[in-house]
Amino acid sequence: MKYFKSKILGLAFIATSLLSVLNANAQQAKLITVKSVKSFEMTVEGIKKGVADAGMMVLAEINHGKILSMTGLTINAESIFIGNPNVGKDAFSDNMAVGLAIPLRINVYEEKRVTYINYFAPSSELGYFKGDKVKMIGQELDKKISMLTGMFER
C-alpha cells in the first residue's frame, strides 16, 4: 500500500511539473516574422497607410534608425504602434492591465538589404491577461495584423 502511495505521489508530481512547463510554453508570446517584398521605406509607408484600412490608426512611432544615428550606428528600423481607441476601451474595460500589450507594436527592419516585419501575435500577448473580451480582441487583431502584413509578402 505504501509503495502504491509513493508511486501515485511521484506520478502526480511529474504530471504537475509537465503541466506547468506546458502552461509556460503556452504563455509565451508568439513571434511572427514576415519577409517584405518591398523596400524598407515603402514597407513603413505601406503599413502606415494600410493601418487605416484595417480599422486602426498609428498612435506612435519609434524610429530606431534615427535614434541610433546619435550613437553613430546606421540602420533601418522603425517600430509603429497601432491601435484603435474604441477597441482599447473594450479591452481596458475588461482588464485594466492590458496596457502592456496594447497598442500593438509592429516592427520593420532591414537586414542585408531585405526588409522584414515582425510582431508578437496579439492573441498570444493578450493571452496573458484574464478576460473573455480581451481574448476575443486578441484573436480579431491577429486576423487584422495578418491581413495588413500579408500585403507585403506578395
Min dist. Cβ of residue 103 to other proteins (A): 13
Find the shortest distance in angstroms from Cβ 84 to other proteins.
20
- CA 24 – CA 2 distance, rounded (Å): 33
Nearer to other proteins, 61 or 111 (CB): 61
Report the run of H or E that residue 10 belongs to, with start and end.
Answer: helix 2-27
The smaller minimum CB distance to other proteins, of residues 57 and 62, is found at 62
What is the distance, to the nearest Å, from the Cα of residue 63 to the centroid of all Cα atoms in its chain?
18
Residue span binding other proteins (CB under 8 A) among the ranges 17-25, 66-74, 93-101, 123-131? 66-74
Q: For other proteins, which stretch binds (CB under 8 A), given 35-43, 54-62, 103-111, 119-127? A: 54-62
User: Can you tell me the distance from the alpha carbon of 104 to that of 92, in angstroms, rounded to the nearest whole number?
Assistant: 14
DSSP helix/strand/coil, 103 = coil
Interhelix angle 85-94/132-150, rounded to 10 degrees, is: 150
Binding segment toward other proteins, per CB under 8 A, in 6-14, 56-64, 105-113, 128-136: 56-64
In the complex, which residues of this chain contact other proteins (CB under 8 A)?
60-63, 65-67, 69-72
